[in-house]
A and B are shown apart, each in its own frame.
Chain A
Amino acid sequence: MNVPTFDITRRTFLAGTGALVVSFTIPLEASAQEGEVPTAPKPPAKLQGSLADTPSLDAWIRIDADGTITVFTGKAELGQGTKTSLRQIAAEELEVAPREIHLITADTAITPNEGYTAGSQTIQNSGTAIRYAAAQVRQILIAQASGKLGVPADQLKAENGKVIAPNGASVGYGELVSEQMLHIEADPNTKIKSPDSYHAIGKPFARVDIPGKVTGGEAYVQDMRPEGMVHARVVRPPSYSAKLVELDETEIKTMPGVIAIVRDGDFLAVVAEQEFQAVKAMRAMTAIAKWQEQAVLPDQEQIPAWLEANVREVGTVTSVGADTAAGVKTLSAQFTRAYQMHGSIGPSAAVAVFKDDALTVWTHTQGVYPDRKAIAQMVGMPEDKVRCIHTEGSGCYGHNGADDAAADAALIATTLPGRPVRVQWMRDQEHLWEPYGPAMLTRANATLDEKGTIVNWHYDLWSNNHGTRPGSAGSLIAGRLMAKHFPPDAAKLQISPLGNGDRNAIPLYDVPNQRVNWHFLADMPVRVSALRGLGAYCNVFSIESFMDELAEAAGADPVEFRLRHMKDPRARKVIEVTADKFDWNNDPLPAGKGRGFAFAKYKNHAAYLAIALEAEVDAETGIIQISHVVSAVDCGEAVAPDAIVNQTEGGILQSMSWTLYEAVHFNNTRITSPDWSAYPILRFSAVPDSIEVHVVDNPGQPYLGVAEAAQGPTGGAIANAFKHATGKRLYDLPYTRERVKTTLGA
């Protein structure tokens, strides 16, 4: 079959960057790339982080006459601790204690538009913007104080909310501010503080949200209780393409507490005064509704073949050096990954109220601006009449049901003007309707020379787009179900530096000749979108597994083999620290035990992470038990070291769960894994004995995103430990007990 080759290469993209900065505008809604911050026309000098899109200082920082400092961020707290680390950054440059900062997060009425809180870019983009803005504000305050105190600015210093002169005279920040003082553009030449003067960045600082969360404080959108709030439940179709054929509402209407039934095409919901009343009505409605279903899903067992057969176009991710170089040994391998879930512990929820022609939605979406735009289109309102306010939900790990729950609440709220509507998805609704991490197929092929160095590298991946976020109203479940049936956004192949399905498909290793291609699938019978790491999880799993195979063919130790191909000193550092702390060696282990190593630099642009672990494999039961794990991570200047450790431990355990257990199940009509019984995840009995995370701090260096850095390497390390323990390699994710037993029994 002739597949058209669309030749956007990374090199041609980057070559045009200079011109692109000035003239290239990507409208927000078309930006399907995970975490990409669109650029707008701006002056030639480069503003840092998100200042590039929102250059006005007062968009970020406000100081009131009483000295209260408010910092605005377009990013959201997802459990990564950014409500705390962003405060540390602002406090550093503003010379106050972090607790003095009032932080307001993603709100379309108030905060800058920073796109999605995704791709591990909060510190990189928002933190950097706040850093430079705060530094400039401090300098403005000092300049103002200089005028007021009659002392040259270079003799003044800011401390604890005051500007202080050498003679002890001081003036508080509040006394220095005036109307519009900060309504100026950021100066790209602003100088920031040096690490030797830090009092907040890099210092231990307890998270501001934990005390409330462990003492029953109001913390999540699920905790909201506005006056007059009513409870809603949606009734979803039994499968993606099911159509409602019959629904007799009579009995439901008479159930205790039922206020309204919402029926718009295939969109169904019921609203009641009390929550359990809504649940009972939902169950009744689910039992009564009759749907027409279609068998349109592919065979779960045949997904790799399906991926190969349904390619829309092939994109070149990279093509460098000669096409093939002569070598002595060529190896190839194929890897696969199943559809996998975000699996948020708290199913998605939202609160919305439609009042005075305006719609307000409290939601845990990662992108309040894009979600607002899609919702506005869906309900047919102007965007400026719709406000989305980020309110925490449980961890989302990417694009889960949050945006859709927000849309559900919005749609229902428009039918009940004046009443705040709370929508809570049920467990099976989250399991069946959240967009999954896409299934993938990868093939690696490489050639070694006589010295055991890799001279040639081919890597191909097959995958959908890893991002179907809003988008238009058609990206929302409600938008597709309602009578108007907004069409889904078209999936387009886009090759970009930070990657999507091709994230981390280019190995960081020094290989002169590389060809990496993305065989892109546009058809999406199973709903997919961004899951932590995007393509990096499967690509790093594949590459790191393959590196071990190459190391073995070269007769080399896996760690030494990686160092052999790595000049980047920061990469070498995390590899060496990990190997050292783990006591990596080649001593034989008892039968069934193995050690495995892996490394990646997330996106090839973000944090460096290496990991080593030991695992034991029981051939009788197929159980893989990981005993201890050591990891080293370098994310530039460490703002909140404990948060980095927390996120890395979390990423390791989550990736372990993906790797050992997780696959979405489906037949030709429906998704068949509706809850934790059919989609098991890590429980305490399988947790390792120990996990050590070493943060390689680089004060003064730019921030590198770290929250997703562990996903890929953990998969690779488990793969390699398994091989070491058993002598056989598993190429297909997840490593279920059945797969282990079949492989070892063969």
Chain B
Amino acid sequence: MRLKHFLFGLLGVVIVACAGFFAIAWKSAIAPIRPLDRTSFDQALIHKGAMLAAVGNCTACHTQPGGRSFAGSFALPTPFGTIYSSNITPDPETGIGTWSEAAFNRAMREGVSRDGKHLYPAFPFDHFTLVSDEDNKALYAFLMTRPPVKQSPPANELPFPLNIRLVLAGWKLLFFNEGPFQKVASESEEWNRGAYLVNGLGHCGACHTPRNMFGAERAGMHLAGGQAEGWSAPALNPSSPAPIPWTQDSLFAYLRQGWHADHGVTNGPMGEVTGNLGLLPDSDVKTIATYVAALMGTPSPERQQRGEQIRKKIGEDFVLASARTDTPAGRGAAIYQAACATCHDGSRPLPFGGINFHLSSTINAPDAQNAINMVLFGLPAASGRQSAIMPGFAAAMTDEQLTDLLAYLRETFAGQPAWPDVAARAADTRSGKFQVSVRPSDGIERGPDDIGAQDQ
């Protein structure tokens, strides 16, 4: 009897819980609108939207390389499968042409599409929720005045039950804090603006914060280092691996121009980020630098000292490595001599010369992935513009040889032991089991522009 009552009771709770969940999870559709007259938007608002879209780097995910801007179909590899980005041009059939401003706002604020479907957090609504209504208005104006493109993305490649969007409601319940940015009264205007940009549209944490097994950013590990498109995104907090500690000035310069003499050029997905930031006024980029520098905190005296020592080492006279080929590091030295030294010995200044490895965050990083990516794929030449060019060595080096080279670089330039798993990681990277996106480092590759030409 008791058991029956208990079971009925449990069933009741479950039903109520399901009903409750369903009540929360199910989102209504917002009525479609007739596509808007492009000339109805204010030029200044569109311009503001362009700037914000640059911060949000919308084009990076919503444009296929070489494809029409914002038309989607970009394949984003995630640990759960591949997700294809949607078409956010104002095309009425395949894009967002029938979305009202309210629908757009909801997508940004709550991660729900116009027709009520939950959006995958590959679209970082957990960051975009911070964006103010005013800024969303400008973004809406910008997107609605882009050229419409008829293009539908391929179906996402996700296993059951992840391919059922309702599941995302549960994810949101557990991991999503909805709501616009709230200023921190004790911090400066500059810091707050930086925080707003970094945590909101900038969605830096989407790459730079580690995630749990459900793919959500780990609470309490804000910007402690993450991963994106096969690249490790370094920590932007006190665990930053940079040999010469970042300062507000160096962060500003790096974000502004895409490189810094102490840190190298932006590569991987970051290349496009700094390229897009190139469109922002100095003042905004400065606030981002302010916020991140504050997060990193003042470097410890040990780190400062180490930084000074490194500067001295670089200024020292050229020392020839002897090529003893009976040790991994010895073999690595010989490889370095022939394959790397021409560009990386410091005789060619950045941004086109290779970074002196004493300065390299990549060689000092906790894992080998970025070093493997760089050696295997290099930096392809951008067509028709200045860009750092590094050849890929995938065809020239075996995984064992790569291991030797990285062992040498770790020992000589970072004073650290070799990474333990280089060969295995390299094999997975080569085979495509671990997917890596490879891009030229030429800054503004696909950034949105100051519009005006489109409206002619």
Contacts and interface: CB of A to CB of B under 8 A. Distances in A.
Query: Is there any pair of Cβ atoms, one from A and one from B, under 8 angstroms apart in the complex?
Result: yes
A286 B352 CA distance: 18
Contacts of A676: 381, 389
Interface magnitude class on chain B: 20 to 34
A288 B318 CA distance: 7
B450 A745 contact: yes
Interface magnitude class on chain A: 35 or more
A287 B452 contact: no
Contacts of A675: 348, 352
Contact of A284 (B318, B383, B385): B318
B320 A280 contact: yes
A680 B347 contact: no
A171 to B, nearest CB: 62
Nearest to A737: B385
B446 A737 contact: no
A619 B389 contact: no
B234 to A, nearest CB: 24
A28 interface: no
Nearest to B345: A283
Interface string B306-329: 000000000001101000000000
Contacts of B388: 677
B301 interface: no
A677 B387 contact: yes
A741 interface: yes
Contacts of B449: 619-622, 741, 745
Contacts of A428: 348
B323 to A, nearest CB: 11
Contacts of A623: 384
A745 B384 contact: no
* Interface-centre pick from B341, B345, B386 (highest chain A CB count, 10 A): B386
Contacts of B384: 623, 660-661, 680, 682-683, 686, 737
Nearest to A742: B450
A673 B389 CA distance: 13
B389 A677 contact: yes
A685 interface: yes
B454 interface: yes
Interface string B412-456: 000000000000000000000000000000001110111111101
B382 interface: yes
B69 interface: yes
B382 A680 contact: yes
Interface string A281-293: 0011011100000
Interface string A249-285: 0000001000000000000000000000000100110
Interface in A725-746: 726-727, 736-737, 741, 744-746
Nearest to A681: B384
B453 A744 contact: yes
Contacts of B341: 283
A686 B383 contact: yes
Nearest to B352: A677
A674 interface: yes
Contacts of A737: 384-385, 444
A287 B389 contact: no
Contacts of A661: 384-385
Contacts of A524: none
Interface in A604-651: 619-623
B352 A678 contact: yes
Interface in B157-201: none
A676 B353 CA distance: 11
A744 B383 CA distance: 20
A677 B345 contact: no
Contacts of B317: 287-288
A685 B446 contact: no
B381 A680 contact: yes
A676 B386 CA distance: 8
A283 B344 CA distance: 12
B347 A283 contact: yes
Nearest to B348: A674
B444 to A, nearest CB: 8
A621 to B, nearest CB: 7
Given A288-B318, A620-B449, A727 B456 contact: yes
Interface in B206-233: none
- Considering the complex of A and B, which 9 residue pairs feature the smallest CB-CB distances, nearest first? A287-B318, A619-B453, A744-B453, A677-B352, A677-B389, A745-B450, A661-B384, A685-B383, A678-B352
14 contacts: A287-B347, A288-B318, A619-B449, A619-B453, A621-B445, A661-B384, A673-B386, A677-B352, A677-B389, A680-B383, A680-B385, A686-B384, A737-B385, A737-B444
Given A680-B383, A737-B384, 16 more contacts: A283-B318, A283-B341, A283-B342, A284-B318, A287-B317, A287-B347, A620-B69, A677-B352, A678-B386, A680-B381, A685-B383, A736-B385, A737-B385, A737-B444, A744-B453, A745-B453
